[in-house]
Amino acid sequence: MTTPYQSKYWGHALTLKGSSDSVANLARSIANARVDLNPHQVDAALFAIRSPFSKGVLLADEVGLGKTIEAGLVLSQRWAERHRKLLIIVPATLRNQWAEEMEEKFYLPTCILDRRSYNKLRKSGIANPFDQSGTVLIVSYQFAAQRGNEIRRIPWDVVVLDEAHRMRNVYKPNSKTAQAIYEAIEDANKLLLTATPLQNSLLELYGLSTFIDSHVFGDIDSFKEQFVRAPNEALRNREIRKRLAPLCTRTLRKQVAEYIRFTNRIPFTQEFHPTDDEQDLYDAVSTYLQRPTLQALPASQRALMTMVLRKLLASSTFAIAETLQRLVHRLEHLAEQEYEVLDPDMEAIMEEGQEEELFGEDEFQPEPDPATLRELIEQEIAELRTYATLAQSITNNAKGEALFTALERALQEAQAIGARRKAVIFTESRRTQRYLHDLLTANGYRGKVVLLNGTNTDPECTEIYSRWLARHAGNPFPRESKQVAMRTALVEEFRDHAEILIATEAGAEGLNLQFCSLVVNYDLPWNPQRVEQRIGRCHRYGQEHDVVVVNFLNRRNEADQRVFQLLAEKFTLFHGVFGSSDEVLGAVESGVDIERRILKVYQTCRTPAEINAAFDKLQGELEEQIQARMAQTRQALLDNFDEEVHARLKLSRDRAMESLDLRTRWLAALTRFELGDGAEWTPDGTAFRLPGGTGSLPWHYFDWKAAEENAGIHYRPESELARSLIRQAIERPLPPAEVEFDYAAHGAIVSALEPLRGRSGWLALALLAVESLEKEEFLLLAGTLEDGTPLDEELCHKLIALPARVLRPDLPHPPPDLSGLLHHLADARLGQVQQRNLKFLEEETDKLYRWADDLKYGPERELKEMDREITGARRAAGLAQTLQEKLDAQKAIRALERKRTQKRRELYEAQDAIEMQRDELIEKLEGQLGQRVEQEHILAVHWSLI
C-alpha cells in the first residue's frame, strides 16, 4: 500500500544535495559502495568533508585501517554531488591497485594516465588529457610532477595523495618533485593519506600542513623559532595540536580492536643450495654485470637494466636464459647496422612490474671508436652465448626442488590452523612462472595451478575465462575491460577450485586474496614496500587466519643472505600482527632508493668480506632513519585519547547505520511501487528480479554481500535502473489529493502517531535549495490538523512513511497556513546553515590571525634582540676609561639606534602588509557566505489516519 506521493517524497529524499546532516549525506555514498561499514572510516570521511572552507585534510590512520576506503568514501560523495574533477596521485606501483579499489568497491570509473595513455589522448586531438570529467584520473608522483603545468589548469574538486609523507620535505629547495606537485594543485582541495606524518622532525609536520594550506603556520623561520626551538615542550605541543586539529585525524589500531580482528604473520624460511652449474652461471653473469662498460646495455639505462638482469638471474635459469639470448640478438643487430647503438626491446628484457620512471636515466657515456666497438661487441657476443648455453643446459633448479618441501609443509601448517589449502606464489618473471607451473603440474598439482600475470593470454587462462563467462552469463559487471574480467575469472578459479596461484608483480597488483593465508616469495624483492604489498594481498582486513610467509634463502650467496636479513630484521616484514610497522616503512623515503643501494653492493663488492662490510654500512644508515626518537612527540601531537575516540566512533557508526538503513528502506519502497507487478520479490523484500524474454534476469540485492554470494546485482541508488525509477517518481506531476494512512497495516508501534488515529489534516512538501559556500538542499514537510494546529515536522515524516492509499486524486489547493509553516521551517534551516557557516568562518579567521602573528614573530624577535644589544652597548659605554673609548662607544650606540629605527620602520611596514593580506583573505571568505535561496513546492495531500 504505497502512493505516488510517497514515492515522490522518497525520490527527493534519496537525491538531496549536500544536506547539512553530514552523516546522512555520507550514507548516500556508503549505500553506493561495496564496503563493510567500519566506524573509524566513516569518522575519517566525515572529517574530510566537514568544512567547505577547508583546503584539505591529512588522514593519518595507522597501517591496515583502510585509508583507501576513507578516500573512496570522500570521492564517491563528491561524485554523487556531480563534482567530478577528481585526481589521485600515488606511487607508480599502486596505480592499478587504486583503480581496482575505486571501480570494484565504489563503482567509480577510473583512468590511469601515464606516458603511453597520455600520448594516445594527445594524438586523438585532446589538448589536455587531464581535462576529463567522466572518470577519476590516477597518476604517479613522477608523472604528476612532469605534467604540473597541465594539472594546474584544471579546477580540481578533490586531489588524493597516497603515501603523502613523500611531500613532507616540500619546504626544502631540493625537493623538486614535491614542489612541482604543490604548485600544480595549490588551489585544489587535497586529501593526504599517510600512516607516518611525523617521523624524524617537526619540520615534516610543517611541510605537510603547508602542502595542504599555506596559512596554518607562518614561514619556516618563524616555525623553527616558535616550535622547533621552543623551551616549553608541553606548551609547544598543545599549540601545534590546536593548529592541526582542523587539519589532521588519526586512528590507532588499538582503538578499533573492538570492530576489527587482526591476525598474525608466521615466517617460514626454506634454505637451498644451488648446484655447481647454477653457481657457475651466477658467478659468471654477476662478474659480467660488474664491468664498468657493457655494449649490450645502453649507458642511459644501465642501472635499470642491470637491476632487471640481476632479478632474473636470482629467479631461475629459465628466466635468465632467454634474456641472455635476446642480448646476443641485440648485439648481432648492432653489428649489422654498422654499430649504431640502438635501444633494446625494453619490455621483453625488463619483463613486467618494473618502473622505468622510478629509476630515471643514468649519465651518458661516450661510445668507443668503431674499430674498438666491433671488437668489444664480438667479445660480448661470444661470452653471452656461452652463458646462454650454460643456462639452457640446466634443467633442474635447486630452488624449484626446494619449493615442494616448503609448499607441503606450509600448506599443512595452514590446514592445521583451520585455513584453506591454498597458496599464492610470487615471482619476478613470467618464464619462471611457466617453469613453476610445469614443475608443480608434473608433481601432484595437475589442474590445481592458476597463473596470473600482466597478459594472461595462455590457453589455460583462456579456458578459465570461457568457463567464467558461461557461469555468469547475463550478469552485468561494473567494469567492461576484458583484462579486468580475466583477472576476476582467474581469482575466482583460484578461490573456488585451484590450490596454487602463481603471480607476477604486475599480475597481483590490487588483488584482495583474504581467502588465502599462505604467501610464498619465490623471488624476494629488494624493495621492502613491494614485499609489504605482496604479503598485504592476503594479510589484510578480512583475513580470518594467521598468514604463513615463506621465503627462500640461498646458502651459497652472501649478498642474498644479507638482503634477507635486512628485510626480516630491520623492516620486520615477516612476523607480527602487522609485519613492517608504519614506524619503519614510513621512515624510508623510497623503496626504490633501497633497491639502488643494494644494487650498488652487488655491483661493487666481490668478496664475502666486502659484501658484509657494505651491508653493515647500509644497515647503519637505515637504522638512523628507522628510529623512534619522535615516538613520544608523535603521540602527543597526533594521537587522540582512547575514551574520546571510542565515543566518537560509536556515535558515527550508530548514526551512519541508522541513515543507511533508512535510505535502503526508501529505495526498496520506491522501487516496489514504481515497478508494480513488473517484478518478482523475495518474501523478505531484500531482493527482486525483472522478467526476461526466455527466462528471468539476475536477482537485484540491496545488500552487496548478498549480491556477491548469490551471483546477483548490487542494487543501489546510483544503479541505472534505480536512477531511472527515482527520476520517474520525482518528475511525475501530482495535484493535491486525499490520502488515507493505515496505522494498523504498518505492523509496528509508533507511539507518537497513536493520538492522531481517527483524525485528519493537511501535509505539504517543499524543496529548499540554499547556495552559499556550496549548494545544499532540504526537504521541508509541514503538517496541520483540520483546525489548523501545526504538527511537529518529525511527526509528519513518520506519518508519510505509513502504508497509504489515494481516496480522491483531485482536491482544491491546501489552506494558506501550510505556506506559513513551510516558510517557518525554511527560516529554521537557513538559521542552522548560517550558524554552521559562521562556525567555519570563525575557525578560518582564527587560523589567519595566527598565521599573521607567526609572520610577525621573526621581525619582532629581531627588534627585541637589537634592544638588548643597545642596552649592552650603553652599559659598556658607561665603563669606558678614556674619552676616545667614550666617543667610539657613543658612535656605535647611535649606529645601532639608527639600525633599530630602520628595523622598526620595516617591521611596521611588514605588519601592515601582513595584516592587509590577512584582511583581504577574510573579506574573500566573507564574500563566499552570500546566500541564494530557492523554494519549490513538491506536493500537498489532505490526510486521514485510520
DSSP letter assigned to residue 702: S
CA distance 755 to 745: 16
Question: pLDDT value at position 497?
Answer: 93
Find which of 22-26, 538-542, 694-698, 792-796 is predicted with most confidence, using mean pLDDT: 792-796
- Is residue 679's pLDDT more than 80? yes
CA distance 859 to 917: 17
Q: What's the chain's Rg over C-alpha atoms? A: 34
Residues ≥6 apart with Cβ < 8 Å to 27: 656, 659, 660, 662, 663
User: Are 23 and 46 within 8 A, CB to CB?
Assistant: yes
- Is residue 8's pLDDT more than 80? yes
292: left (phi over 0), alpha (psi -120 to 50) or beta: alpha
CA distances to 378, 399, 505, 533 from 311, rounded to whole Å, are 26, 14, 12, 18
Q: Reduced to 3 states, what is the DSSP secondary structure of residue 735?
A: coil
Buried b (16+ CB within 10 A) or exposed e, 737-759: bbbbbebeebeeeeeebeebeee
Quick: pLDDT tens for 862-882: 777 788 878 888 887 877 777
Averaged pLDDT, 466-493: 73
Nearest to 367 by CA among 293, 290, 291: 293
- Is residue 480's pLDDT more than 60? no
Residue 760 banded pLDDT, cuts 50, 70, 90: very high
- Of 275-284, 639-648, 756-765, 903-912, the range with the lowest mean pLDDT is 639-648
Averaged pLDDT, 21-36: 75
Q: Reduced to 3 states, what is the DSSP secondary structure of residue 682?
A: coil
Quick: pLDDT tens for 485-530: 788 889 999 999 999 999 987 666 667 788 999 999 999 988 887 8
The alpha carbon of residue 142 and the mean position of all alpha carbons in its chain are separated, in whole angstroms, by 17
Question: pLDDT value at position 692?
Answer: 67
Question: pLDDT value at position 588?
Answer: 54
User: Are 649 and 39 within 8 A, CB to CB?
Assistant: yes
- Helix, strand, coil % over all residues of the chain, rounded to 5: 55, 15, 30
- Is residue 36's pLDDT more than 90? no
- Is residue 928's pLDDT more than 70? no
Quick: pLDDT tens for 322-360: 899 989 988 887 755 544 433 333 343 444 444 444 444
Averaged pLDDT, 287-304: 85
Averaged pLDDT, 677-694: 82
CA distance 279 to 107: 50
DSSP letter assigned to residue 362: P
Averaged pLDDT, 794-811: 90
CA distance 868 to 889: 15
Residue 298 banded pLDDT, cuts 50, 70, 90: confident
- Is residue 470's pLDDT more than 50? yes
Question: pLDDT value at position 499?
Answer: 94
The x, y and z cell numbers of residue 769, run together, are 535549495
Nearest to 793 by CA among 818, 776, 816, 814: 818
- Is residue 809's pLDDT more than 50? yes
Find which of 52-56, 178-182, 745-749 is predicted with most confidence, using mean pLDDT: 178-182
User: Are 529 and 509 within 8 A, CB to CB?
Assistant: no
CA distance 939 to 395: 80
Q: Reduced to 3 states, what is the DSSP secondary structure of residue 29?
A: helix
DSSP E strands: which ranges in 101-249?
110-112, 136-140, 158-161, 190-193, 248-249
The x, y and z cell numbers of residue 163, run together, are 603515501
Q: Indicate the average pLDDT of the chain.
A: 83
Tell me how long the chain is. 946
CA distance 304 to 311: 11
Place of cell 559556500: 773
Residue 319: count other Cβ atoms within 10 Å of its Cβ: 26
Residues ≥6 apart with Cβ < 8 Å to 766: 779, 780, 782, 822, 826, 935, 936, 937, 938
Residues ≥6 apart with Cβ < 8 Å to 748: none
- Of 269-278, 608-617, 630-639, 709-718, the range with the lowest mean pLDDT is 630-639
The alpha carbon of residue 508 and the mean position of all alpha carbons in its chain are separated, in whole angstroms, by 17
DSSP E strands: which ranges in 35-129?
56-59, 86-90, 110-112
Query: What pairing do the DSSP bridges indicate for beta strands 804-808 and 737-741?
Result: antiparallel
Strand partners, 739: 806, 943
Q: Reduced to 3 states, what is the DSSP secondary structure of residue 585?
A: helix
**How buried is 372 (Cβ within 10 angstroms: 0-12 exposed, 13-18 middle, 19+ buried)?**
exposed
Quick: pLDDT tens for 409-441: 888 888 888 899 999 999 988 899 999 999 999
Predicted TM-score (pTM) of this structure: 0.73
Greater confidence (463 vs 881) lies with 463
